[in-house]
Chain A
Amino acid sequence: MTPAEIREEIIDILGDIAPDENLDELVDEKNFREQLELDSMDFLDIVMELRKRHRVQIPEEDYGNLASMKTTVDYLEPKMRDIIKA
């Protein structure tokens, strides 16, 4: 997957776990927490959905990399590079 495709996938996951949020205006450099009302349960869901959909494992000590869209995509890029977008 390209970084753009990974971003699209994260948007899709966020749409699933937070359907009432407007994701069109999401600023990639800003923290999710500042823009969306996500709590620890929602972050767990991002991790779990990535595992479910793409078999991507994210160890707990790496959860901090999911702070914003930019850091998330940067972190996932090497892990998801070889995944073919369905």
Chain B
Amino acid sequence: MEGLAAASDEELLRRFAAGEASAFELLYHRHELRVYRYLLRNLRDRTRAQDALQETWFAVARDAARYQANGARFTTWLFTIAHHRMIDALRAARARIEEVSTQMIESHAAAMTHGVGMAEPDVAAIASEQLEALLRALAILPEEQRQVFLLQQEADLSVEDIAAVCGCSFETAKSRLRYARSKLRELLQDCL
């Protein structure tokens, strides 16, 4: 496992495809949270996010042998799978998603900050407030703008990669990202 720690994502996937289970575990732990947050913040439903997470990683494990490092980064490939699973889940639950209430966002934010060790109650309160505001602002964003923003933040993808994941042109991805960031800055003005 120690030898694997320095290996790239692509190398870990190759080794997993050759039968090394520990390579997959390391890969999973590297990306688990980022993928989960991307799914949760888009779907805003813990159960659906977990289902989509499982499906994403099942697909990664199943198709590991077919993954070709043809210039595409592992992260781009991983988030492309996650994005497609998220879109499927969104379509399946569109009616419910549209009824997301402010109360749900608040409870979500409270659940997210629950258990995080903080020395000062005030600091915890501020962090909770910021997270709540962020989630609220993300929920207000149009779906496609939210997706490109989260891909940039969670997957650390370039605009080009975001366009590849979302299946849109570079210009469209760039435009969506610009609108998303502009709207979020406006909504979160008071949080700083």
Q: Do A and B bind each other?
A: no
A interface residue numbers (CB < 8 A to B): none
Chain B interface (Cβ < 8 Å from any Cβ of A): none
